[in-house]
Structure 1
């Protein structure tokens, strides 16, 4: 369990900021120590990158395989960490009473959620560094303007998927959370437009993919890191998902 009074002067409680940072540090360390989550957050994206670069799936897109594959894999990292990883962790914390206990401490409900967001961003940053380094060795050279544009878009994607993960974790049983988030990861990663561009699917499926948060984030990252361009429609869709999911999570999340 995280300590809510770390780094505080003797005899005085830690400030709210220090409590949130301490909780975020604990959450991030817990995620990185979990073997199953490491497979989902690190091994699967790396294997996906290698597979896309080694096979002709992305041929005919007008750019090199690694240039098209890497933005989608970075978006996949946000899905893995914010949606599946955080959703499962929160679901079981709720089952074992951890959420109920922490929500009554000086950390508070708002501090607990802020700590989870910090943990997601820390882990996502590590994923981005790892994937980008491997991609660079494979010849990936994104434009600098595209990198500056892609970073906040990836953070927005992480926020949207965190809200969706918390919504599921806070409204259904942990076993159902495990099934829904894992199945969701499989479907969104394979046919959700996050790894493979929507243009790779049939016309009917392509129209659906454009409205998914996964498809929006995938399009945003590819537009930014390949063309240094902001996909305005993708941004509107992703923002809508983030806002709606956050409102729903705040309204229906159950702490016990």
Structure 2
């Protein structure tokens, strides 16, 4: 599959916005057509939601179990798409020379990054819609007052994990990215994504709260279960976005 080469309505060169939107559509279609990415982005989170809702292991703390489980699975969906999926896809695009080609095209590096960001946003929206429907069938009833702060948390979490994904994909060889991205995905499940940081061993709780996984998971639980505004979690996510973005800008290599 090759990226689109859009033109303006008048038949001349496309505007930057048209190029960015075309790249976002291309990136979105690539994700949705990739079976392995769909497995990590949608199938596994859906299975996790059903298992957590219908069992009592692990302990998810206070609150209705379905509500706490749904918030955690939403966090898992964000991590799966913004970090794991993008790290692997970008890593192999770099190895195959796709990034170097697109970076030198009229799309430019800025357009490529904006296209990826747009695709991540579209896919996460689809994930939340599907997972939210399943959760509603299972009895999920979110705190209405927490929907707006939850959306803010999702946006900040996606930005933080996408920045970290680009840093990983731009500094490690593709095979290493594949292994590390999947390993990190597994480790983060128990470090605040699915399991609240309050329910972790005392030695892990302060560490998990400072990780983007803990900030994202706890932030969504505070919003959707308690209707709170997780300002401290937002600050953690902003710091990780800044660190990941700065590291990617400094060390990202556009080709092997």
Are the equivalent residues in 2 in contact too, given 1:213–1:241 (CA < 8 A)? yes
| 2:54 is aligned with 1:54 | yes
Are the equivalent residues in 1 in contact too, given 2:72–2:217 (CA < 8 A)? yes
Give the match for residue 137 of structure 1: 137
Are the equivalent residues in 1 in contact too, given 2:45–2:77 (CA < 8 A)? yes
Distance 1:180 1:61 in 2: 30
Distance 1:34 1:205 in 2: 35
Root mean square deviation, CA, Å: 1.2
TM-score between both structures, scaled by the size of structure 2: 0.96
Are the equivalent residues in 2 in contact too, given 1:58–1:68 (CA < 8 A)? no
Structure 2 gap segments, 5+ residues each: none
Pairing of 1:1-256 with structure 2 (within 5 A): 1-6=2-7, 8-57=8-57, 61-189=61-189, 191-256=190-255
- What is the CA-CA distance between 1:59 and the residue it aligns to? 5.2
- For residues 213-245 of structure 1, the C-alpha deviation after alignment (integer angstroms, 9 at most, x for no partner) is 000101100000011112222121111001110
In the superposition, relative to structure 1, how do residues 28 and 60 fare at CA in structure 2: closer, same or farther (>3 Å)?
closer
Are the equivalent residues in 1 in contact too, given 2:60–2:195 (CA < 8 A)? no
TM-score between both structures, scaled by the size of structure 1: 0.96
Query: How many residue pairs were aligned?
Result: 254
- What is the CA-CA distance between 1:11 and the residue it aligns to? 3.4
Are the equivalent residues in 1 in contact too, given 2:60–2:199 (CA < 8 A)? no
Distance 2:60 2:95 in 1: 48
Are the equivalent residues in 1 in contact too, given 2:149–2:230 (CA < 8 A)? no
